[in-house]
Chains A and B, each alone.
Chain A
Amino acid sequence: MSSATIPPQFEIVDRPLDTQMTISMGPQHPSTHGVLRLELVLDGEMVVKTTPDIGYLHTGMEKLFEYKKYQQGIVITDRMDYLNPLGNNLAYVMAAEKLLGLEIPERAQTIRVLMCELQRIASHLVWLGTHALDIGAMTVFFYCFREREKILNLIEAASGGRLTPSYFRIGGLMMDLPAGFENRCKQFLNDFPPAVEEFHKLLTGNKIFQRRTQGIGRISAEDAIDWGLSGPCLRGSGVNLDIRRANPYSSYEQYDFEVPTEPDGDVWARYMVRMREMKESHKISAQALSRLKPGPVKADAPKVVLPDREAMKSHMDALIHHFLIVAEGFDVPAGEVYFPIEASKGELGVYMKSDGGSKPSRVHFRGPSFVNLSVLPVMAEGEMVADIVAIIGSLDIVLGEIDR
């Protein structure tokens, strides 16, 4: 930007400084979305080198899985990507179901899709609010959290937990949806499209926001694939890839939705992809809601799925199965699977290895945030310090998932 008001006696210096400076950004910096520390080598205000330093939130979850029975592991997954716990639940239980060879009833699959898409909207709302807040637009944050609150209330109604639902179980769901849930969900889905328009009014046409995001943190499609970017970050580079389409799971192939892509590969493109994705998730949620038909929500596998409370009072075998599952767990056939799903941030893959016992031999989470963050040094090179904040926001990282 040229400015016409510089007095003539000042010489404008437009060349890099001779010295470089190393500063530490984080781990308490509010714009690093948790406890991320960056080692920045700066030349004036220009970033020469970025070295992310992670692990401040490491809690050894992958180790813990090996000491817990399969059904106990679900609770740990909630705490990884704490903005998308239902997605983590889904990847974990579906990996175990693949090892067990379980067939999931249609109603349970539909509810899983419905809840996961609501969770995706909630996750994107937190991203939008904090991303705008990082760049300096504070108002958006409150509007986003107002809408997110409605989704959390729905999740709480279904599962009892707002941030740690653990709603999906190996073989189905914890329990069926409560009475009146469908009406409350319809109410939310009716209110949501005007809210998205509101976000657009607040942010999309804003010249300051556009200048802060357009052309910042560029990455080409080839580089994005080579660096393993996935989810909205990859689609922001113009690659049409969505695991829901490529390797459909939980009957996603039966839903009608678009995969939004933007060609530019900058912060703005990733912003637009997520904004459009919220509308697609809304579309899928509405379809899932209209497909809900009465039926069982648990697979017919008495040795794996906990019996109903009522059945336990009248059937001896139900009581025995309940006791055995809770006290000893269930054995899972030996083998290994890798189950990928499209989480709100990208490809969430679960590698699960069983030795045949009631505890897994190894569970590994391929967290999309972990891989997406590893690209930050490439995106940040040559940008200004203030733009690092915008780039981190556009990557939508959650440190709980990176550090595990």
Chain B
Amino acid sequence: MQAGPENIAPSPEPTPSSESTTPSPLVTALQHEHPEWMADVINAFGETTIVVPREHIADVCSFFKTLPDARFDFLADICGADRGPEEEPRFEVNYHLFSTTKYHRIRLKVLLNEDDVHVPSVTGVWRTANWHERETFDMFGVIFDGHPDLRRILLPDDWQGHALRKDFPLRGYEPYSLK
């Protein structure tokens, strides 16, 4: 039952792109068009990460969504990360983009200082960002400016603190009871 290559992929589809293909032409395209939108590029483990200044994140997202070579029409995920209270910048917000026609992926990263955790919302670019941003707000306290409905999503509304921050204790500050 060894599958031959001729009966695997239907012809009109693009060739499957494995994770290792780095969309470096996209990086050069962004570099060429808007060099100020790109703070750093990291290539590691076969994945490309572009560090974006936070005020430009929505612009970069819509740029990549509409760029014919990129076509990142699918926002796979947004997740925050905390580097620890002693680090500066302390917080990261990672945007994982995917193209449903070209099958490639890219990660955009925004770095935030602890005293100013505001990022422009990308709900205007992909509506799926809504719940992802609410989750990141809930867990890390990152505030997405322009979000239509920025409430806690997993934890109760009166919860104190942000649970996935490194300085939040694993067992919480005190036993929680509904008020």
- B residues near A, CB below 8 A? 1-4, 7-9, 13, 16-19, 44-47, 49, 73-77, 79, 81-83, 94, 96, 98, 100, 103, 105, 107, 126-128, 130-132, 135, 139, 152-156, 163-164, 166, 168, 170
A337 touches B47 (CB 8 A): yes
A246 touches B16 (CB 8 A): yes
Q: Which of A164-187 contact B (CB under 8 A)?
A: none
Partner of B16, one of A55, A63, A253, A364: A253
By a CB distance below 8 angstroms, the chain A residues around B7 are: 256
Instruction: Determine chain B's interface SS by DSSP, over half rule.
Output: loop
Given contacts A241-B100, A362-B81, contact A338 B47 (CB under 8 A): yes
17 extra interchain contacts, Cβ-Cβ under 8 A, other than A228-B76, A247-B19, A362-B81?
A55-B156, A63-B164, A225-B74, A240-B13, A254-B3, A255-B8, A290-B1, A335-B45, A336-B49, A338-B47, A338-B76, A338-B96, A340-B76, A362-B79, A362-B164, A364-B81, A371-B132
* Partner-contacting stretch, out of A1-9, A119-127, A192-200, A347-355: A347-355
By a CB distance below 8 angstroms, the chain A residues around B100 are: 225, 239, 241
Partner of B128, one of A58, A64, A291, A374: A374
Partner of B103, one of A246, A336, A338, A366: A246
B76 touches A287 (CB 8 A): no
A301→B3 CA distance, assembly (Å): 30
B3 touches A366 (CB 8 A): no
Given contacts A55-B155, A256-B7, contact A364 B79 (CB under 8 A): yes
B1 touches A374 (CB 8 A): no
A370 at the interface (CB under 8 A from B): yes
By a CB distance below 8 angstroms, the chain B residues around A67 are: 170
A248 at the interface (CB under 8 A from B): yes
Contact with B along A340-375 (1 / 0, CB 8 A): 100000010101010000000110101000110010
Question: Nearest Cβ in chain B — how far from A54, in angstroms?
Answer: 7
CB closest chain-A residue, reference B130 = A374
A228→B126 CA distance, assembly (Å): 8
A322→B128 CA distance, assembly (Å): 45
Question: Nearest Cβ in chain B — how far from A339, in angstroms?
Answer: 8
A253→B15 CA distance, assembly (Å): 11
A60→B49 CA distance, assembly (Å): 27
B96 touches A351 (CB 8 A): yes
* Interface contact tally, CB-CB below 8 A: 126
| Cβ contacts A to B, 12 pairs, < 8 Å | A60-B170, A63-B163, A226-B73, A226-B127, A246-B103, A287-B3, A335-B45, A338-B76, A339-B19, A364-B81, A371-B131, A404-B154
CB closest chain-B residue, reference A222 = B73
Question: Nearest Cβ in chain B — how far from A279, in angstroms?
Answer: 16
Question: Nearest Cβ in chain A — how far from B136, in angstroms?
Answer: 10
By a CB distance below 8 angstroms, the chain B residues around A353 are: 81
Could you say which of A226, A248, A255 has the most chain B C-beta atoms within 10 Å of its C-beta?
A: A226
A247 touches B17 (CB 8 A): yes
A276 at the interface (CB under 8 A from B): no
Question: Nearest Cβ in chain B — how far from A155, in angstroms?
Answer: 23
- Going nearest first, the 8 A-B pairs with the smallest beta carbon separation are A228-B128, A256-B3, A366-B77, A364-B79, A246-B103, A55-B154, A374-B131, A290-B1
Instruction: Determine chain A's interface SS by DSSP, over half rule.
Output: mixed
Given contacts A225-B74, A228-B128, A246-B103, contact A256 B8 (CB under 8 A): yes
Could you say which of B18, B100, B107 has the most chain A C-beta atoms within 10 Å of its C-beta?
A: B100
Question: Nearest Cβ in chain B — how far from A25, in angstroms?
Answer: 18
A286 at the interface (CB under 8 A from B): yes
A225 touches B73 (CB 8 A): yes
B105 touches A247 (CB 8 A): yes
By a CB distance below 8 angstroms, the chain A residues around B9 are: 245
Question: Nearest Cβ in chain A — how far from B27, in angstroms?
Answer: 17
A207→B163 CA distance, assembly (Å): 49
Partner of A349, one of B13, B81, B96: B96
A366 touches B96 (CB 8 A): yes
CB closest chain-B residue, reference A226 = B127
CB closest chain-A residue, reference B7 = A256
A362→B4 CA distance, assembly (Å): 40
Could you say which of A98, A227, A246, A403 has the most chain B C-beta atoms within 10 Å of its C-beta?
A: A246
CB closest chain-A residue, reference B128 = A228
Question: Nearest Cβ in chain B — how far from A241, in angstroms?
Answer: 5
B45 touches A337 (CB 8 A): yes
Q: Which of A368-404 contact B (CB under 8 A)?
A: 370-371, 374, 403-404
B126 touches A361 (CB 8 A): no
CB closest chain-B residue, reference A286 = B1
By a CB distance below 8 angstroms, the chain B residues around A347 are: 76, 98
